[in-house]
Structure formats: structure tokens, C-alpha cells
Amino acid sequence: MSFPCARWHEPIRQILIPRQGTEITTTQWKELVAKVPGIGSAAQYNQPSDHCSNMKNDGACDCAETDRALVRQVRRGVYQVL
């Protein structure tokens, strides 16, 4: 299922631009994603690991493990914003 990416990839990418090159925790990700206009309660289902360059979960965004990925996992619960 590519729901997280299909609708929210670009708005999430935009909100992450000021954080490029920095590390972000899963908690910080959820706080930022919750600020995306219109995402509402769907924010709880959107995980950084679903948009990751070096891992892919079941149901991940179609950007996972591609050059369109938004983050790279550094260690469990911590991601570098690409």
C-alpha cells in the first residue's frame, strides 16, 4: 500500500526541507507531519521508516529505497533528513 506517499509525499518533503542534513527522531517526525495541512489523523500512520532510503517496511511508500526517499535510518528511531 502506498497511501503515505501517494498523497503526502510532496507536502512532507516540503516541510522537511529546512531540516535537510540533520537527524530527526520518530517523535519529531510525527510532530512535523501533524503540521501538514489536511493530514489530520492520518499523521499517526505515517512513519519515517516508510520513506527511508536504506530500509523498506511492508506497506512503505513507493519512494522507499529509491533516490526519492526522504530520510536514511541512522539507528533505530533516528533518521537523517535527505
Q: What is the pLDDT of residues 14-62, one digit of tens each?
A: 999 999 999 999 999 999 999 888 887 788 888 899 899 999 888 788 8
Gap between the terminal Cα atoms of the chain:
23
**What is the domain count for the chain?**
1
CA angle in degrees (0–180, nearest 5) for 81-22-15? 55
- pTM recorded for the entire structure: 0.86
Instruction: Name the amino acid, one letter, at 51.
Output: H
Distance from C-alpha of 74 to C-alpha of 19, rounded to nearest angstrom: 15
Full domain range(s) for residue 27: 3-81
